[in-house]
Copies of this chain bind each other. A is one copy, B any other.
Amino acid sequence: MRNGKIKAPAPVIRRLSNYHHLLLGLRQRQVQSVSSTTLAEILEYKPIQVRKDLQLAGLVGRPRTGFRIDEMEEAISRFMGWSLDCQAVLFGVGNLGSALLNYPWREEYGLRFIAAFESEEERSNILINNIPVHHISHFPTFAEEHPIDIGVIAVPAEGAQAVAEIMVENGIRGIWNFSHTHLKITGNATIENALFTQSLAVLTRRLVESRTQNSGTSI
């Protein structure tokens, strides 16, 4: 295991993805370089933290000018695995699934949906954003014929565990779970849960905290 392949802390990964997204805007404005001070100001981090983060992605800055935008883009993409073309499938073409299929992941993250799968016949055999939606029964055959890096779960909670299992059985190693379930996986797949509810919890708790600082009466 060499440089850049160590297990990076999740908070650093999240911040790096923020820097990366900022770069798009900066580049449009023809900016060549940006300092850790400036990045920190925009994102409300500390400059030293920005430098430490970028260092982990293998970046080297220049005294006085900071970091080159194109180098940052390149280094973060490489660090995240976004430089390699990554093929994904999605299960569950409801509103959320459709939203995900319509998002331009490829441009910024190198993620390409090559197919989607649905349990309901009425929603199968259509195209969403030019991505074919098949009936779920066609999945094993499809998986044999195409290399799939990531499987996205956008089905209701009840179906999620079953979907995760057929994904793993058919060789998918990365699962991005948008359903509200704790998945139990046997084998060496990586699961990432995009739990809206965790995010909501942080928001409502912060509101509780701020409320009680003003109105003195508490429990």
Residue A53 lies at the interface, judged by CB distance under 8 Å to chain B? no
Q: Mark A161-178, 1 if CB is under 8 A from B, else 0.
A: 000000000000111100
Q: A18-B182, A95-B102, A99-B99 are in contact. Are A7 and B209 (CB under 8 A)?
A: yes
Q: Which single member of B13, B102, B109, B207 contacts A149 (CB below 8 Å)?
A: B207
Residues of chain A having any CB pair with chain B under 8 Å: 1-8, 10, 13-14, 16-18, 21-22, 42-43, 79-82, 86, 94-96, 98-100, 102, 105, 108-109, 111, 149-150, 173-176, 180, 182, 188, 190, 192-213, 218-219
Q: Which of A173, A197, A203 has the most CB of B within 10 A?
A: A203
Contact among B80, B94, B180, B211 for A205, CB-based, below 8 A:
B80
CB-nearest residue of chain B relative to A84?
B208
Cross-chain pairs A/B with CB under 8 angstroms, 28 sampled = A1-B218, A4-B218, A5-B208, A5-B209, A8-B209, A14-B195, A17-B195, A17-B197, A17-B198, A17-B200, A18-B182, A43-B182, A79-B205, A79-B208, A80-B204, A80-B205, A81-B204, A95-B96, A95-B99, A150-B204, A174-B204, A174-B207, A190-B207, A190-B210, A192-B199, A192-B200, A192-B206, A193-B199
Most chain B beta carbons < 10 A, residue from A13, A18, A199, A213:
A199
Is the pair A200, B111 in contact by a Cβ cutoff of 8 Å?
yes
Closest 3 CB pairs of A and B: A95-B99, A192-B203, A17-B201
Distance (whole angstroms) from the CB of A18 to the closest CB of chain B: 7
Known: A14-B198, A99-B96. A174 touches B150 (CB 8 A): no
20 other A-B residue contacts (CB within 8 Å) besides A43-B182, A99-B99: A1-B212, A1-B213, A4-B219, A10-B202, A13-B198, A14-B195, A14-B198, A17-B195, A17-B198, A80-B204, A80-B208, A81-B208, A81-B211, A95-B99, A96-B99, A175-B203, A176-B200, A192-B200, A192-B203, A193-B199
